[in-house]
Amino acid sequence: MRVEVPTERRVKRWGLSVQELVKDPIGRQVLETFLESEFSSENIRFWIAIQDLKYSPNDQIDHKTERIYEEFLAPGAPAQVNVDSRTLDQTLDCLQKATTASTRRHAFTHSEEHVFTLMAKDSYPRFVRSQIYKGVLSAAQQQGSRRLGWRNFIFNMGAAKKPQCKPAKTRDELHSQNLPKQLSSDSLPVRTAHAVRPEASAE
């Protein structure tokens, strides 16, 4: 995926609050990269999944609700988020009582708020001090609005190497290079000249 590199002003806003960070699509991606380095990316993925659930069509609510529970909250879930037992019980109670698409959209509110608070108080301060955030800010200052892959934008911030000039090739070298390998002069078979036998004279 290719995205527009954020401006310096935009990246600096991420440092104002966690709300400014997560409402920016690129900010969320950069935060997820940081959380992956801390082995806690499930928190932002859980939060993003719930935001998606809130604005999904009614016919997708049941499926997405079940998927969020199975991935993040169920016992032994592959990306289980760290919520206390009280918050989990409140969430399960809301899920059981939610019988319409409208109520199921907000059934995860207790867990959502718990995880967001955890990110705001614990992960976000470290993110702002991290080399990832500082690197993004530095790249934004240097590269402005160039379009780059966002992961390259974060990790490949070195200056591009200047191409080295090569000496011009001679006419013979260019001619040989353009020939298919099997037709180059070096690969052509050498034929030996055969003596021509004189024809027998008619008697």
Q: What is the pLDDT of residues 59-95, one digit of tens each?
A: 999 999 999 999 999 999 999 999 999 999 999 999 9
- Reported for 92-95, long-range contacts at CB under 8 A and 24+ positions apart, including other chains, are 95/65, 95/69
Round to whole Å and give the CA distance between 111 and 50.
10
Looking at the chain, list the stretches that DSSP marks H as alpha helix, in order from N- to C-terminal side: 8-14, 18-22, 25-37, 42-54, 58-68, 85-97, 101-104, 109-118, 124-129, 131-143, 150-155, 171-178
Domain residue extents for the chain? 1-39+130-160, 42-122
Q: What is the pLDDT of residues 146-166, one digit of tens each?
A: 544 555 555 544 333 344 444
Write the CATH number of the domain with boundaries 42-122: 1.10.167.10
**Residue 8 amino acid letter:** E
> Which residues, 6+ apart, have CB-to-CB distance to 59 below 8 Å?
none
SS3 4: strand
Residue 134 reports pLDDT greater than 90: yes
Please tell me the pTM assigned to this model. Answer: 0.69
pLDDT band of residue 1 (cuts 50, 70, 90) is very low
Which pLDDT score, from 0 to 100, does residue 53 have? 97
Which pLDDT score, from 0 to 100, does residue 56 have? 96
